[in-house]
Amino acid sequence: MLKQYFTDLAAYNSWADQKVMDWLSQITVEQWEQVNVSSFCSIKQTAVHIASAEKIWVDFWTKSADPVYLSATFTGTKNELTDIWKAASNDLEAYIKSHPEEDLMRSVSFIYPNGNTGQMPYYQTFAHVVNHSTYHRGQLVTLLRQAGYHQFSSVDLATYFVNKNVIDA
């Protein structure tokens, strides 16, 4: 059951990420870069942070030889970031689908942005990634509202499950 739950969460994360990316495709460069008070100073920086986190955790899970925090190096466009974010979101979903349930307790080694290292069971890192993205997507809603964007739809987990159950019925 745990793997099915994580598979559902990964699908939810991809669905919610795509909704947010659709919103971002509708804003101007000025709105994208508008300075606001939040954990990160703009819609752009918040989106870079989410995409970077999703990508780096997939890199840690797959033991990538050269994991890179995009938030420290990204200088591309909104469309380039969206492409990277969509790939990371899809990779996260594909990884859990192919991940053996018996390996959910396997330890994952990771590197913090400050260079310190850590380890946690895979299932905890997975739960963290989804929770982290949800938290910052909420901040994006606030930042988008401050920038004058108001064409939202719910990206709530309950909304995802209700819609999925209607479609699957």
pLDDT confidence band for 168 (50 / 70 / 90) = confident
Percent of the chain as helix, strand, coil, to the nearest 5: 65, 5, 30
Q: Determine whether the annotation assigns residue 136 to a binding site.
A: yes
Question: Does 128 belong to an annotated binding site?
Answer: no
49 annotated as ligand-binding = yes
| pLDDT tier for residue 169 given thresholds of 50, 70 and 90 | low
Residues 13-51: pLDDT tens digits?
999 999 999 999 999 999 999 999 889 999 999 999 999
Torsion angle, alpha carbons of 80, 83, 84, 88, to 10: 170
Token look-up 């594909």 returns 94
CB 69 within 8 A of CB 113: yes
- Give the domains, in start order, of the chain with CATH numbers: 2-168 (1.20.120.450)
Give CA 109 to chain center in angstroms: 19
